Each structure stands twice: as C-alpha cells, then as structure tokens.
Amino acid sequence: MFRNSEQKVKSMKRFVIGNLKGGVGKTTTAVNLAYSMAKLGKKVLVLDADPQTNLTPFFTKVNANGHTIKTVLQHPNLVRSAIYRTRYGNIDIIKGSTDLVENDAYDTNALLKALLQIHDRYDACIMDTRPAMELITTSALYAADVLVTPVCLDKFCRDNLLLVEDKYHHLQEQGVGVEWKIFANKVENKRAQKRTYIDMVERHCWPFMETCISKGAVVENALEYYKPVMKHRSKSQVALDFMDLAMELQEV
C-alpha cells in the first residue's frame, strides 16, 4: 500500500545517555526521557545497552527468552525480531542482556546498521549505557546523533567532564558525528552547586542544556516501583523538569 502523501514520515533521532562516572542517574534519565517523549506524542524505542540490564524492568519483564541487544549486536538484520512492546503506549524496547562481555566480538557499526533499518518506525531512540568505554558503549556512540551526559554538581564534576570531553574529541577524530549535550542532575539550591555550575559553563564552555533536574525523594520512590517519575507523581517538580528536558532535546 502506498503511503499517504500527507502522512509525516518518521526519522528517528538517536540519543545515548552516557557518562564515565557511575551514580549520576543515567538509567533514571533514560527511563524518564523516554516516558516524557512518549507523553509528548512521540513513538519511542528504548535500548538497554548496559549488561546490568537496569533499564529493562522499567518497561517489561526480564527473562531469558527471546532476542536481546546481544542478538542485535551479533545479527543487525534481526533487529525487528528483538523489539518488544512495553507496558506503556508509544514505547517499545530492545531488552538488555547479562550475557554481554567485553571480549565478545562485535562490529562497531552493528547498532547503527540495525537502527537504520527501523529509522522510519520511531521518532526517538533512547540508549542506556554503563560507565565504561567498552565495545558496546562505543557501538552505541557510533549509532547516536546526540550524547546526553547527566552530571552531579559535586567536587568530581570537572574531572569527570574532562574525561568525557577527551573521549568525545577522540570520537570526533574518528569521524563520528555525534553531538554532545550535558545537563545538571540532582540539583539542590546550594551555593556550592551554583559555583560549580557557573565554572562549568563560563570557564570551560561545555555544552550545558538550560534544563536542570531537581533532586527529590520522588525519584527514589519511583525507582522502588520501577516507574517513571511522571507516572508515579505527575505534578512533582522532577517530573516537570524531565518534561522540559525532553522538549529541549527535541530541538537539538
């Protein structure tokens, strides 16, 4: 059947949530960005590229049956068979795999090859990665349009971003055309955090986004129930912040 000429063809934008430091809220960001984008009417694919598979249980049951991210890395042409519906409308998932190990041999471009086959099915793909520059993370970055880095405004923030910046420039030297965006996560109204933020933006000229995500107990409460914050407490400041972040990323 011919596509209606007035029907808008989707062109999936691919986001990697990545940082070389743990505990900054990468998985929380992936979950809440995906849900917020879906609430904005976007068709979203989430991809769990972390061998710890922390993202998967937020969207579907974790089991050993069926295809996973490992299938896609080994056989990019099977990507459609590895996509599952989730408990949320407008969100599908490629499940994570605990069988992923660093010495597995994958084509660095495997994820890119796979995602290009389904680029017209989704508006956005959100990829969660773990804090290590291993092959699967590199493959995700090769497949991405935008690297989204959450940071905590603590004393380690500057050194953390210097490491990420070094890896980012290395990717650019290899011809990887991924754009880099940073946002402050778990923000409290503290003077020290404000000083750190000003230093990051003004002295280092790092590409910080305007949106910051507030710190709140609602995040931990939502995590306990494997829910996005907006599903758990839709009127909370954190939920509103993630919606703002989703809208800002749509303009990138």
Count the neighbouring beta carbons within 10 Å of the beta carbon of residue 197.
17
Over residues 105-164, the pLDDT tens digits come to 678 999 999 999 999 999 999 999 988 878 889 999 999 999 999 999 888 888 889 999
Average pLDDT over residues 159-188: 93
Q: For residue 7, is pLDDT > 80?
A: no
C-alpha neighbours within 13 Å on the C-beta side of residue 174? 14
CATH H-level superfamily of 13-250: P-loop containing nucleotide triphosphate hydrolases (3.40.50.300)
Q: What is the dihedral of CA 200, 201, 207, 211, to 10 degrees?
A: 100
Q: For residue 4, is pLDDT > 60?
A: no
What pLDDT is recorded for position 21? Answer: 86
Over residues 221-237, the pLDDT tens digits come to 999 999 999 999 999 99
Q: For residue 184, is pLDDT > 60?
A: yes
What pLDDT is recorded for position 104? Answer: 66
Calpha distance 86→94 (Å, rounded): 10
What pLDDT is recorded for position 8? Answer: 55
* pLDDT > 90 fraction of the chain, expressed in percent and rounded: 73
DSSP state letters, 126-153: EEE--SS--HHHHHHHHH-SEEEEEEE-
Confidence of residue 86 (pLDDT cuts 50, 70, 90): very high
What pLDDT is recorded for position 9? Answer: 58
Q: Tokens 């955090």 appear where?
A: 193
Q: CA separation (Å) from 127 to 71, 87, 130, 173?
A: 16, 18, 10, 22
Q: For residue 199, is pLDDT > 90?
A: no
Domain boundaries, the chain: 13-250
What pLDDT is recorded for position 197? Answer: 83
Q: For residue 1, is pLDDT > 60?
A: no
Tokens representing 55 are 């993202």
Over residues 31-65, the pLDDT tens digits come to 999 999 999 999 999 999 999 999 999 999 877 67
* Burial class of 68 by CB neighbour count within 10 A (0 to 12, 13 to 18, 19+): buried
Which ranges constitute the DSSP H helices of the chain? 26-39, 69-74, 110-116, 135-143, 157-173, 191-198, 217-224, 229-232, 237-250
Confidence of residue 102 (pLDDT cuts 50, 70, 90): low
CB 45 within 8 A of CB 12: yes
Calpha distance 231→233 (Å, rounded): 6
HEC-encoded secondary structure of 158-177: HHHHHHHHHHHHHHHHCCCC
First to last CA, the chain: 33
Count the neighbouring beta carbons within 10 Å of the beta carbon of residue 191.
7
What pLDDT is recorded for position 103? Answer: 59
Mean pLDDT across the chain:
90
Pairing status of strand 83-85 against strand 91-94: antiparallel
Average pLDDT over residues 78-98: 96
